[in-house]
């Protein structure tokens, strides 16, 4: 059954770009059934009762609540990559269960453009497609130092580093069961040694992801998949 996120105070009326998708792409008619999600874990089973030019009017048939799949809330602080790689990262990490994504400017970050509305749309569409109950929050562009300052909001903060030789991700995940986890992913050129030192001083744990050096658009997805497997 098709799912659509709708603001809680707007249910059971659907508006915005979803109207076009329901009418012209899915070609749903009056009487068609769908599920409405308010972003808090509540799922409303609904039936279309009216189709207007700018809105779809539904009748709620029932409501249920489901728990989110991951037992840990993961925030991904991602250094901004070039081109459209950020869109891919947001889409795939949403599918993998990320709770929040913070675009980051670091010492070696080349890209500078912020497309917040576009990124939030991608997150919403990916959440609907993957059957999630919530849409990950996409924060405004933040500087590297700003992420270090919020470390205390998390039970565990990790920074993958290709030169880390002592601590592996598996070791950390085996020994800890955080409820709120922060991951800091570097840019195409990697973090500078001074940034790694600043992060460690702030309480981040540097970890190795194995012998291969992953691209910036791959690292976050790989971590989310590993963490999801370990904590599921």
Model confidence at 223: pLDDT above 90: yes
Provide mean pLDDT across the span 28-42.
92
CATH number for the region 73-231 comes to 3.40.1280.10
Q: What's this model's pTM, rounded to 2 decimal places? A: 0.87
CA distance 131 to 151: 30
pLDDT of residue 68: 66
- 170-208 pLDDT per residue, tens: 899 888 889 999 999 999 989 999 999 999 999 999 999
Instruction: Look at residue 70 and tell me whether its pLDDT is greater than 80.
Output: no
Q: How far apart are CA 219 and CA 213, in angstroms?
A: 9
For the chain, which residues make up each domain, given as ranges? Answer: 3-65, 73-231
Whether residue 106 is predicted with pLDDT greater than 90 in this model: the reply is yes
Rounded mean pLDDT, 53-68? 89
- Angle in degrees, 0-180, between the axes of helices 85-95 and 216-231, rounded to the nearest 10: 10
Residue 34 is predicted with a pLDDT of 94
CA angle 67, 68, 71 (to 5 degrees): 105
Q: What whole-number distance in Å separates Cα of residue 129 and Cα of residue 6?
A: 15
Average pLDDT of the chain is 92
Q: In the prediction, which pLDDT does 113 show?
A: 81
- Exposed / middle / buried, residue 103 (Cβ in 10 Å: 0-12, 13-18, 19+): buried
Question: What pLDDT does residue 157 have?
Answer: 97
Q: Between vectors from CA 188 to CA 182 and to CA 192, what angle results, nearest 5°?
A: 70
Q: What is the pLDDT of residue 98?
A: 96
3-state DSSP helix/strand/coil percent for the chain, to nearest 5?
35, 30, 40
* Nearest Cα residue to 19 out of 56, 62, 57: 56
Q: Sorting pLDDT into bands at 50, 70 and 90, what band is 41?
A: confident
Distance CA 181, CA 186 (A): 17
Mean pLDDT of 90-119: 93
Structure-token pair, residue 187: 């840019």
Residue 112 has pLDDT above 80, yes or no: no
Domain 3-65 has CATH 2.40.240.20: yes
Span 69-90, mean pLDDT? Answer: 91
Please state, in angstroms and as integers, the Cα–Cα distance from residue 204 to each residue in 4, 65, 72, 147, 200, following that order: 37, 35, 17, 11, 5
pLDDT at 69 over 70: no
In this predicted model, what pLDDT tens digit does every residue of 116-156 receive, in sequence order? 999 999 999 999 998 889 999 999 999 999 999 999 999 99
């Amino acid at each position: 059954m098709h799912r659509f996120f709708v603001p809680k105070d707007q249910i059971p009326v659907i508006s915005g770009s979803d109207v076009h998708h329901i009418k012209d792409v899915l070609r749903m008619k009056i009487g068609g059934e769908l599920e409405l999600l308010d972003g808090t874990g509540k799922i409303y089973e609904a039936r279309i009762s009216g189709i207007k030019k700018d809105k779809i009017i539904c009748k709620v048939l029932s409501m249920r609540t489901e728990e989110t799949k991951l037992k840990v809330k993961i925030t991904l602080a991602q250094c901004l990559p070039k081109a459209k790689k950020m869109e891919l990262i947001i889409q795939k990490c949403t599918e993998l269960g990320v709770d929040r994504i913070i675009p980051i400017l670091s010492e070696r970050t080349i890209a500078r453009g912020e497309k917040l509305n576009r990124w939030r749309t991608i997150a919403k569409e990916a959440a609907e497609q993957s059957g999630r109950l919530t849409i990950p929050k996409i924060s405004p562009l933040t500087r590297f130092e700003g992420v270090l300052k919020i470390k205390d909001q998390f039970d565990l903060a990790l920074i993958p580093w290709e030169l880390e030789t002592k601590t592996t991700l598996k070791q950390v995940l085996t020994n800890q069961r955080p409820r709120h986890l922060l991951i800091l992913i570097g840019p195409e050129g990697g973090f500078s040694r001074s940034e790694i030192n600043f992060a460690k001083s702030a309480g981040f744990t540097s970890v190795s992801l194995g012998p291969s050096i992953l691209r910036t658009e791959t690292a976050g997805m790989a971590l989310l998949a590993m963490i999801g497997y370990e904590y599921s």
